[in-house]
Amino acid sequence: MRVTFHGVRGSIPAPGPETNRYGGNTSCVSVRGAGGELVILDMGTGLVGLGKELMAQEFGRGAGAATVLLSHAHWDHIQGFPFFAPAFVPGNSFRVHGMARSSSLLEGILEGQMNPSYSPISSLRNLGATIELVAVTTGMPFDLGGGISVCAALNPHGSTAALAFRIEQAGRSVVYAPDVGYPDGGPSAEVLALYRGADLLIHDCTYTPADRAERRTRGYSSYADAADAAARAGVAQLAMFHYDQDYGDDVVDELARACRAELDHRGATACTLTAAREGMTLEV
């Protein structure tokens, strides 16, 4: 699998020279399977750039299909959707798996984003592509075709929750866990099982431990929380993700150094550490 980061920022896009290196777009990651299958993780503003790239391929001809795995519907995870060019091309199809009690409620959430008060698109029905909404059942693996299987678990995220996804193909595994604020005991057993032994864990790394302590109720992780989860689950590689909008590139450099030290301190010296940045591709 080929994993590419299109947006690595949390909460709100952060334009400006201070974010040039890591990037200021909100959460969006793509995973290309060995057979060319496309899985899109979240639809923050990073989705806009991915959409432009896709238009040069089969999506430009209305012959594209992709799966979207939506961790939750906070703005920074859906705000790229109305500007995703392939969604406007008839013939393309997208199946969006997200967190809701039912598929029609999930549709209502994305429909609300397009409401005429907020967007000239007015309704999902005005998008040319076929959009299918599916409510995720946690703990129940589902198949995307091409030998790709996905399993989801629920993580606490402030006053709400967010899904973490494990994507497997041909014995390789990528886990995507944005937006999580663990209780004092750390990840639940179910979540640790989802992370266990992953080749790549993309994990929330919004804060320094000091900022996290001050903003605990917001439901995000510090680099220490990310390192702890990675060490406990025995993952091969940890990618730091979802940086706070006020952290410039130099701060993220510092987070990465400190996160390495946390991993080593926990005995996870063999775990590779990567600070995700826009445009970066990792082969799994």
Partner 1 sequence: MKVRFWGVRGSIPVPGPRTNRYGGNTSCVAVRSPGGTDVVLDAGTGLRKLGQELMQRGFGEGKGEAHLLISHTHWDHIQGLPFFAPLHKAGNQFCVYARERAGTPLRSVIATQYDDPYFAVPFDAVKADVDFRELGDGARFELGDVRVSSARLNHPWIATAYRLDSGPASSPASMVYATDTAPFRDILFGEAVAAPPASGAALPAVDVARLGELRASLIDLCRGAQVLVHDAQFTDAEYRERPHWGHSTPDDAIDIALAAGVKTLVLFHHAPERGDDELDLVLAAARARAAGSGLEVLAAHEGLEFDLAERA
The contact set with partner 1 (CB under 8 A) reads 9, 11-17, 19-20, 23-25, 45, 48, 72-75, 78-80, 82-83, 99-100, 109, 112-113, 116-120, 122-123, 126, 157-160, 218-219, 245, 278
- Least distance in angstroms from the C-beta of 251 to partner 1: 16
Closer CB to partner 1, 22 or 195, in the complex = 22
- Least distance in angstroms from the C-beta of 269 to partner 1: 34
Report the interhelical angle of 249-265 vs 223-233 (nearest 10°). 40
Closer CB to partner 1, 83 or 182, in the complex = 83
Contacts of 42 (CB under 8 A, 6+ apart): 7, 27, 28, 29, 69, 70, 71, 77, 78, 176, 178
Closer CB to partner 1, 118 or 145, in the complex = 118
- Least distance in angstroms from the C-beta of 19 to partner 1: 6
3-state secondary structure of 277: coil
- Least distance in angstroms from the C-beta of 121 to partner 1: 8
- Least distance in angstroms from the C-beta of 256 to partner 1: 19
* Long-range residue pairs from 231-234, CB within 8 A, at least 24 positions apart, any chain: 231/263, 231/266, 231/267, 231/268, 231/271, 232/186, 232/187, 232/192, 232/195, 232/266, 233/187, 233/192, 233/195, 233/196, 233/197, 233/198, 233/201, 234/196, 234/197, 234/268
Closer CB to partner 1, 152 or 235, in the complex = 152
Closer CB to partner 1, 64 or 82, in the complex = 82
Return the number of other C-beta atoms located less than 10 Å from residue 185's C-beta: 7
